[in-house]
Structure 1
Amino acid sequence: MNSNEKIQVVGTNIGEKANLIWNVANSLFGAYKPHEYGLVILPMVVIKRFHDCLLPTQEKVLETYEKVKQLAVKDGFLRKASGYRFYNTSKFTFEKLKADPENIKPNFEDYINGFSDNVIDILANMGFFTQIERMTDAGVLYQVISDFCKDDADMDPERISAIDMGYVFENLVQRFSESYNEEAGAHFTSRDIIYLMCDLLTTNADFSDEDAPAKTVYDMAMGTSQMLTCMEERVKALDNTADIICYGQEINPFTFGIAKADMLIRGGDPENMQFGNTLNDDKFSSYTFDYVISNPPFGIDWKREAADVEAEHKKGDAGRFGVGLPAKSDGQMLFMLNGLSKLKDTGRMAIIQNGSSLFTGDAGSGQSEIRRYLIENDWLDAIVQLPNDSFYNTGIATYVWIVTKDKPESHREQVLLIDASQCYEQRRKPIGNKRVDITEDCRNLIIGAYGDYITHNYTHKLANGTEIICKAKVMDAVSLGYNKITIESPQLDENGKPIKKAKKLVADTSKRDTENVPLDEDIDAYFEREVLPYRPNAWIDRNKTKVGYEIPFTRTFYEYKELEPAADIAKRIEKHEHSMMEKLHELFGNGGE
C-alpha cells in the first residue's frame, strides 16, 4: 500500500471503527453522562485490542501456565508462549463472557486479573477498576461486553494496523474531549502531516551503516504515539534494516495508556513510554535523541506549571528554560525549548507551532529571546507553512519548524521559509475540520523545495489537472533580527527652548518613541536618515536598546495585486443590477413595476 492509500484508508478506518465504538457508548446512556463515556470506552478498546492480539495463542499460554504457575519467575515463559511482551492466563474470552450473563462481573474480573502486570498498570492508570463496579451497579456491563463481541469490532493487528488503531483511538479521544469541552489546543495530527515531518527530518539521512547504533526518536507530547509509529515506518521504508528506538511522554492518562499498549503490541520497550507533564515533570532529563518530532498543544496556558518552570528558568544554562519564558497564556515555545534540550549535537527536530511563535513578543521578551537563541546559534533550518484545514479540529494556520544542531555548510547563517499553504489535494470527504490532504505529490514538491534550499516557486500539475504550488524563500538569518531603539525628544520651556539639567537635555516622556532598525543596518545611519529630518533635537537612549527577532512569514510571501479600475467595477455592478432587474421582471411580470 503506497502512502496515498495509507492516508486515505485512515479516514475509512477512523470512520468505520470509531463510529462503531462510539455507538457502543450508547449502552452507557443514563448510567454515565456523555462526557464520562470515555472512562469506560477507551479502556475497553484497549482491553479488546489486547484480547484480539492474544486470542490465537490463548491455548498455548494456558498450557504453559499450568506447567510454570508454581515457579517464582514465570513471565518469560508466558511471554514466549503469547508471542508478545504481555499475556493473559484467564480461561475466559469475550465470547465466553457473553455466554454467561448471570456471572458477568466475577468472570470479567477473572479475565482482567489474568493479564500480566504491565497491562494491569495501564488499566489502573486509566482508573478502570472502579468502572467495573459502576457498570455492574448500573446493569450495563454485560451489554458493553456484548457490543464488543460483534464481528466488526475485531481489532486483531492483522485486520487493523497499530498506526490505524492509533488514529481510531485519537478520534475517540477527540470526540470524548469535545463532549467535555477539553482544551482546543490539543490537536491530533493526521498521517499526511506526520509523513511530511518525517521526510523533512530524514532528508539526506544515511541509515545504511550496519555498525551504527540504533537511532532514537522522542515525542514530548506523544498522544497515542502515532508520530513515533509513523517515524519508525518511514525510516524502515528508507532502509528496512535500520534500527530505531521510540521514546515519548504524555500527560493524558488515557492517551498514555493507549500509547503504552501500542508499544507492548509492537514489541517495543513499554518503559520508553512515560506518563507525566513534560513541562514540570520531565521523565527524560538525562536523555538526548537523534530525532525529536512533536505537535505540542498551543494556545494553552502554563499557569499550573509556572512555579516549577520559573524555578528551572532561574537555573540558566543548567535548565531547559534559561533562555526565556513566553507569555503564560501560551506554552508552546516552552516545548520548543524542551525539544531543543533533548537534541544530540547532530540531532534534528520537527515541531508544529501556530503563527504566534513567529512574531509575538517584543524585543527582549521571552518569545523573542527564544527565537534569538535559535537563530543566533544557527539552529533554525527551515519553517514550512501547512495548508489551512489540515487538522481534524482546527482550521488555523500552522507551521512545521525544522531545527537542527548540525546544519549543513550550505545552510549556514540562513533560514528557508516554505509557503506550502496552497500545496494540497481536497479530500473527497472531510474528517471534522480536515478538508485537505498533503498527498505524495504535494509532499514531494515540499521536500524538493527543502532539499534545494534556494529561492524559487515550485509548481506541479496533479492527475486531475489541478496545479499545486510551493514557494520557497531563503532568508539571511541576520535579516530576521532588529535593534529596537528608544528615541527621546527634549522638554521645552515656555519659550520653546530645550530644558537641561546638569548640562543634559531633559527627555519629554510624552514624546518618547521607538524604532526597529534591521540588525544588518547601522543604527546611526538609520537615525540620521529616518528620524533627524523630522525631529532635529531627538537622540537615541543607548541604554534602552534591545535586540529582537521575528519571522515575517506573511510579509515575505505577500504579492501585491493591482486593484481593478473603478470604471470596470462600475460596469460590473451595472451589469449585475441589470441582470437582477430582468430576473425580477420574469418573476413578477411588468405589473410588479
Structure 2
Amino acid sequence: MNDFTGSAALQADFIWKNAEDLWGDFKHTDFRKIILPFTLLRRLECALEPTREAVRDAYSLFKDSDIELDTVLRSTAIYPFYNTSEYSLATLGNSKTRRNLEDYLALFSDNARAIFEEFEFGNTVIRLEKAGLLYKIFQNFAKIDLHPDVLPDRVMSNIYEHLIRRFGAEVNEGAEDFMTPRDIVHLATALLLDPDDAQFEASPGLIRTLYDPTCGTGGFLTDAMNHVAGYGSHYKIPPVLVPHGQELEPETHAVCVAGMLIRRLEFDPGRDLSKNIRQGSTLSNDQFAGERFHYCLSNPPFGKKWEKDKKAVEDEHEKGELGRLGPGLPKISDSSMLFLMHLASKLELPANGGGRAAIVLSGSPLFNGAAASGESEIRRWLLENDLVETIIALPTDLFFRTNIATYLWILSNKKLEQRKEKVQLINATSLWTSIKNEGNKRRIVSDDQRCQILDMYAAGETDKLSKMLDYRTFGYRRIKVLRPLRMKLILDQEGLDRLVSDSTWLKLSSAHQSFWLDAIKPLSGQTKDYNWAETFAKDAAKSDKAKALKVKATKTLITALITAFGHKDPEAEPVTDANGELVPDAYLDESFTDARDGLLGRVGYEINFNRFFYQYEPPRKLHDIDDELKQVEAEIAALLAEVASE
C-alpha cells in the first residue's frame, strides 16, 4: 500500500490523480459522486482491516443463534460498524465486478451502508461499469492506505474538504460555502473550551455535550473533541465531548457520518456517534428539538436566504418564549441571526452546568435593522439577557470564497462575575499572516496570533485592541420628531391642470366649473400662502354671481385647491391650527413608544466596532502629494520619450 506523507492537500491530490481515468467518460460535475464515496469506502475498509477475519468468523459462528448478532459484530470490529462480506476492494476481481461490489456494500452494517445511499452510489457504480472503468477505479483506491493510524481523523477531514474545494473550483459551485478554515476552527474551539480548564482539571473524565447545527464535514466537532483529548497530557483522564450535529446537504452529511463512525469514546468504545449526526434543515426541521448542549459551534452560510424555511420559521417565531426564534425575525435575505438565536436556545441551562457557544458571522448581525426591527430585537434579547460574552473582529481574506469582514461571537449563560452585564469587543483585524492564495483565502491567524487573541480574551481588560463595555452602551432610543407643514401655493398652469382632473372638480356642474375658472385665471402666476385657498374660496362664494349659481366654498373644494397648487417649502410660513395658533417648529410624537417598556421612543441595539476602535489618521500634506505627482509625471514623460525614440 502507498503510505501518505506531507500535507492533506498533497494527499488529496494523490487521490485526485487516481481518478484521472474519469476524464472524457464523465462530466467533471459528476466527479464528487465518484471520488468522495470511493474515498469514504476505502477509509471504512482500512479501519476494519485488522478485525476483518474475526468479524467474519463471529458472523459464521453466531448468525443462526439467538444472540444479538449486531452487538457481537460491533464488539468484534471494535467499531460501531462492520462488514461481513468476503470481499474487499482489492479482491473484487475483474469479472462480475459490479455484482461483487454490490454484495460488498450490502453487507456493511446499516449505519455504514446509509452513507453510500446518500451519494446514490449504486447508480454511480452502474455508470462506471458501462464506461468500462469500474475495475480500474476501485483498484486505484485499493492501493491507498487510509487507516486511522496512518491518517488521523483531523487529517482525513482536511482531505475531504480539500477534495470538495477542488470540486467546487471545477464546477464553479458554492461547495466551499460551508467550510471553515482550520485556523478559524482552532481559534473558535480554544475560545469556547479554554475558560473551562479549571473545571476539566477538577473533574477528570468529565462528560459534556457538543453541538454544531451546520456541521458540514464535521471539522468543528472533530477539532473540539481533539482539543479536550489533548488534556490527557495534563490530567490523568481527559474530559469527553459527545458530539451532535446536523447538516443540510446529504453528501456532506455522509462525509461527517463516516468520520463519526470511526471515532470512538474511550469510556464507551462501542457507542455509535454517527447516530448523533442528523440530516435536514436546522431552521425548519430541528433534529434535536428540546435538547440543550454544554458547548455549541457553528459557521452558518453567509447571507443565505431563508425563504425555503419561511413557513416553519414563522410558526416557530409565533411560539414566542416557548420557541427557538421568539425575539424577532431578520430580513428573509439573510438567515445568520436565525442561527444565532437557535444556538442561544440550545445552551444548557445554568442549573445543569450552563452552556457556551461560538459562531462565525458576517458583519450584518452587528448593525442590520433599525430600532424595533427584527434584527435589533434579536440583539436586544441577547444583550438584555446577558448572553453575549465576546465578539471578535477577524481579519479579512480568511475564507476560501469570500474576503468580507467576519466576526466570531461567543455566547454564554454562565459568565464570570466580572463579566456579567458586559460585552468584550476584540479588534483582531491586524492579527494575520500572509499565505499563498487559496481562492479568496490569502491570510491565516497563526498559532502565535491565536495565542495573542486568547490572552486578550482571558484578561478581559480595556486596552488598544480590547474593550470591556456595559451592554447598555449599545442601546439607544429612536424618537419621532414631527415638523409643521410649510407650504406655499403657486397658481400656475400645471396646478390648474391638476385641479381640473381632480375628482372633486369633476363632480361640479359645468356652470360652477366656469365660475371657479373665471375667479382663478386673473391670479395666474401669483404665489400665495397656505391659508389663501380657504380665504379665496369663501370670499368668491359671497359674490352675487356665486349666489345666483348657488356656488358654495366646500371643504372638499378648498382641499382640492391646496392639493393642486400646493408646493412644500421649508422657507414658507408654518401652517396654523384651527385656532390660529402657530405649530412649533418641531415636537416629539408622544405616541411613538416602545412596545416592550411603553416609554417614549423605540429601543434599538447596534454594535459598532468603528465607534470604539476608530483611529484618526491625518490627511497627507499637500506638498508631499505634489512631490509624488511630479515624480509620477517625470516617470510618464521618460516612458513616452523612450517610446518616441524607437
Q: Verify same fold: TM over 0.5.
A: yes
Q: Report sequence identity in percent.
A: 36
* Residues 1:257 and 2:248 aligned together: no
Deviates more, 1:196-205 or 1:67-76: 67-76
Query: What residue number does 1:539 align with?
Result: 588
Amino acid at match of 2:34: V
Q: Measure, in 1, the Cα distance between the counterparts of 2:65 and 2:438.
A: 51
Q: Counterpart in 2 of 1:468?
A: none
Q: Do the aligned partners of residues 42 and 481 (structure 1) sit closer, same or farther apart at CA in structure 2, a change above 3 Å counting?
A: same
Moved more, 75-84 or 541-550: 541-550
Query: Partner amino acid for 1:402?
Result: I
Instruction: Tell me which structure has the larger Cα radius of gyration.
Output: 2
How far residue 131 of structure 1 moved from its aligned partner, in angstroms, is: 2.0
Q: Give the superposed CA RMSD.
A: 2.7
Alignment-derived partner of residue 338 in structure 2: 334
Asked whether the equivalents of residues 383 and 401 of structure 1 are also in contact (C-alpha less than 8 Å), the reply is: yes
1:118 aligns to what SS in structure 2? helix
In 2 relative to 1, CA 42–505 (structure 1 residues): closer, same or farther, beyond 3 Å? farther
Name the residue aligned to 1:410. Answer: 418
Q: Output one character per residue of 1:466-519: Cα deviation in whole Å (capped at 9) or x when no partner.
A: xxxxx1122221121111111111124999554455779999xxxxxxxxxxxx
2: CA distance, partners of 1:145 / 1:587 = 61
Matched residue type, 1:425: T
Q: Partners in 2 of 1:182 and 1:369 — Cα distance?
A: 34
Answer yes or no: is 1:127 the counterpart of 2:87. Answer: no
CA apart distance, 1:132? 2.0
Structure-2 residue corresponding to 1:475: 469
Opposite residue 281 of structure 1, the aligned amino acid is N
CA distance in 1, matches of 2:571, 2:180: 67
Q: Is the 8 A contact 2:432 2:443 kept in 1?
A: yes
Bigger Cα displacement from structure 2, 395-404 vs 568-577: 568-577
For residue 315 of structure 2, the aligned residue among 305, 311, 314 is 311
| Residue 241 of structure 1 pairs with residue 238 of structure 2 | yes
Query: For residue 282 of structure 2, what is the amino acid of its counterpart?
Result: T
How much has 1:453 moved relative to structure 2?
1.2
CA distance in 1, matches of 2:586, 2:404: 46
C-alpha distance in 2, partners of 1:210/1:485?
A: 52
Q: Which of 587, 604, 616 pairs up with 1:560?
A: 616
1:53 aligns with 2:47: yes
Q: Is the 8 A contact 1:485 1:542 kept in 2?
A: no
Distance 1:289 1:123 in 2: 30
In structure 2, how many angstroms separate the alpha carbons of the residues matched to 1:54 and 1:18? 21
- Alignment length, in residue pairs? 536
Q: What is the CA–CA distance in structure 2 between the aligned matches of 1:371 and 1:564, rounded to whole Å?
A: 39
**Contact 1:216-1:246 within 8 A present in 2 as well:** yes
1:121 and 1:93 mapped to 2: Cα distance?
Answer: 18
Residue 36, structure 1, aligned to residue 30, structure 2: yes
Task: Name 1:291's counterpart in structure 2.
Answer: 295
Structure 2 letter corresponding to 1:570: D
Q: Which runs of 5+ in 1 are unaligned?
A: 1-9, 458-470, 508-534
CA displacement at 1:297 relative to structure 2: 0.9
Residues in 1 aligned to 2:47 and 2:24: alpha-carbon distance in whole angstroms: 32
| Aligned partner (choices 444, 450, 453) of residue 451 of structure 2 | 444
1:92 aligns to what SS in structure 2? coil
State the alpha-carbon separation in 2 of the partners of residues 453 and 541 from structure 1.
Answer: 41
Alignment correspondent of 2:525: none
Listed as ranges, the gaps of 5+ residues in structure 2 are: 265-271, 487-568, 595-601
| 1:160-209 C-alpha deviation (Å, 9 max, x unpaired) | 11111112112222333454554478241122211111111123312124
Aligned to 1:386: 394
User: Which structure dedicates a bigger proportion of its chain to strand?
Assistant: 1
* Distance 1:262-1:536 versus aligned 2 partners, 3 A rule: same
Distance in 2 (CA, whole Å) between partners of 1:505 and 1:155 is 88
User: 1:134-533 alignment to 2 at 5 Å?
Assistant: 134-150=127-143, 153-183=144-174, 186-205=177-196, 206-210=199-203, 214-238=207-231, 240-267=237-264, 268-346=272-350, 347-427=355-435, 429-457=436-464, 471-492=465-486, 498-499=574-575
TM-score of the pair, normalised by structure 1:
0.85
Q: For the structure 1 residues 284 and 482, does the alpha-carbon distance in structure 2 shift closer, same or farther, using more than 3 Å as the test?
A: same
The Cα of 1:396 is off from its aligned counterpart by 1.6
Alpha-carbon offset, residue 156 of structure 1: 1.0
More divergent stretch after superposition (483-492 vs 397-406): 483-492
Q: Give 2:191's aligned amino acid.
A: L
Residue 424 of structure 2 aligns to a residue whose secondary structure is strand
C-alpha distance in 1, partners of 2:570/2:51?
97
Higher mean Cα deviation, 327-336 or 433-442?
Answer: 433-442
**Matched letter for residue 294 of structure 1:** S
Residue aligning to 1:106: 99
SS at match of 1:208: helix
Shift in alpha-carbon separation, 1:297–1:11, aligned structure 2, 3 A: farther
What residue identity is the alignment partner of 1:172?
Answer: L
Distance 2:259 2:203 in 1: 27
Deviation larger for 177-186 or 298-307: 177-186
Indicate if the aligned counterparts of 1:486 and 1:544 stay in contact, CA closer than 8 A. Answer: no
Query: How far apart, CA to CA, are the structure 1 residues paired with 2:114 and 2:642?
Result: 74
Contact 1:221 1:250 in 2 (8 A): yes
Q: Deviations over 1:544-581 (max 9, x none)?
A: 56211111113322211111111121122223433554
Contact 1:86 1:116 in 2 (8 A): yes
SS in structure 1 at match of 2:124: helix
**Shift in Å, 1:430:** 3.5
Q: For the structure 1 residues 562 and 538, does the alpha-carbon distance in structure 2 shift closer, same or farther, using more than 3 Å as the test?
A: same
Q: Is the 8 A contact 2:25 2:131 kept in 1?
A: yes
Range with greater deviation from structure 2 (441-450 or 66-75): 66-75
Return the offset for 1:33. Answer: 2.3
Partners in 2 of 1:284 and 1:64 — Cα distance?
36
How far does the alpha carbon of each residue in 1:390-436 deviate from its partner, in whole angstroms, 9 at most, with x for none? 22222221110011112212112221111111112222x33333222
CA–CA separation in structure 2 for the residues paired with 1:452 and 1:94:
54
Q: Secondary structure at 2:480's aligned position in 1?
A: strand
The structure 1 segments of at least 4 consecutive aligned residues displaced by more than 6 Å after TM superposition are 502-507
